[in-house]
Structure 1
Amino acid sequence: MTCSVSNKLENICAELGARLTDPRRDVFGVIAKADKPVGAYDVLRLMPDGTKPPTVYRALEFLESVHLIHRIESLNAYVLCCDGHGHEHSAQFAICQSCGDVQEMQIPALEKILKDSHFKGVGFKPLATSMEIRGVCMKCDDHNAPSV
């Protein structure tokens, strides 16, 4: 998963008046450089010596709360938010079962359905949604296609 991250963390922290700590910067950097979703202990292994797990988890929690990263539930791993901080409540992900690539998508029609009255009938107000769609990316599909 690749996307532009130039000054995202600094800008968001400034907007929110949040402290930009070294662990937050380091964890964000690890996730931003990763080409695949990374788990918390993968992040920990790439942190400066002496970093403890709670420090990584607090940084992950902060980054997720300000919508700079997403947690891919089925992989128990994190990816950078590539939407430019434009959404806060809904995310859709295409996950390649072959290579593990994850692509973040915006599906406005799905978001509209979820925001409309479908849940009102059962007395439920969705606050956040995440959809994970598993399949095969074009690169892997082309690679596995039989040659003619």
Structure 2
Amino acid sequence: MKATLIQQIEDICNTRGVRLTPQRKRVYELICNSPKASSAYELLDSLRETEPSAKPPTIYRALDFLMEQGFIHRVESTNSYVSCNSCHDKKHFSHLLICDQCGSVIELQDSDLIALLAEHAKQHNFAIHNHVIESHGTCPSCKK
């Protein structure tokens, strides 16, 4: 699965004419391999295992690129990052379910919810450019 995701984002980058550097690719792999959302500093610590000289700007540049391309999401409430289920769409809206106990994140995409939000915004003559919907709770594993 991971190899398929990596190949998918490599192909997308080639199509878009953007460069997936080895560091960007490694940061993406670290995010994909994590069972929970990862903070920038957790990612930096992991990156330093293979690149001891990596500094905070290194990780933030990689995260900015990956978010700009739509390959990852920033979990605003925990200031962390997760891989995106629809990395082929450069920009889309999602709803994140965040477990407060283990930190796992489930990404949902619901066109009915997005349409409802758009309709509410339209009623108020408001143009939505970006939104983040995050719901906190307990995942099935932690409920046991």
Question: With structure 2 as the length reference, what TM-score do the two structures score?
Answer: 0.87
Q: Give the 3-state SS of the residue equivalent to 2:10 in structure 1.
A: helix
Q: Match for 1:127 among 120, 126, 129?
A: 129
Q: Structure 2 matches for 1:1-148, cutoff 5 A?
A: 5-47=5-47, 48-86=51-89, 88-116=91-119, 118-141=120-143, 143=144
Task: Summarize deviations over 1:55-89 as a string: whole Å, max 9, x none.
Answer: 11011001001110000001100000013434723
Contiguous gaps of at least 5 residues in structure 1: 144-148
Kept in 1: contact 2:96–2:108 (CA 8 A): yes
How far 1:123 sits from its partner (Å)? 3.2
Kindly indicate which of the two structures has a greater share of residues assigned to helix: 2
Q: Over alpha carbons, which structure has the higher Rg?
A: 1
Segment of structure 1 superposing worse, 96-105 or 79-88: 79-88
Kept in 1: contact 2:97–2:135 (CA 8 A): yes
Q: Distance in 1 between matches of 2:16 and 2:87?
A: 15
Q: Sequence identity of aligned pairs in percent?
A: 37
Contiguous gaps of at least 5 residues in structure 2: none
Q: Distance in 1 between matches of 2:7 and 2:79?
A: 26
Kept in 2: contact 1:89–1:129 (CA 8 A): no
Question: With structure 1 as the length reference, what TM-score do the two structures score?
Answer: 0.85
Q: Distance in 2 between matches of 1:87 and 1:61?
A: 13
Q: Distance in 2 between matches of 1:56 and 1:6?
A: 18
Q: Distance in 2 between matches of 1:137 and 1:28?
A: 24
What is the Cα-based RMSD across aligned positions, in Å? 1.8
Give the total of aligned pairs: 139
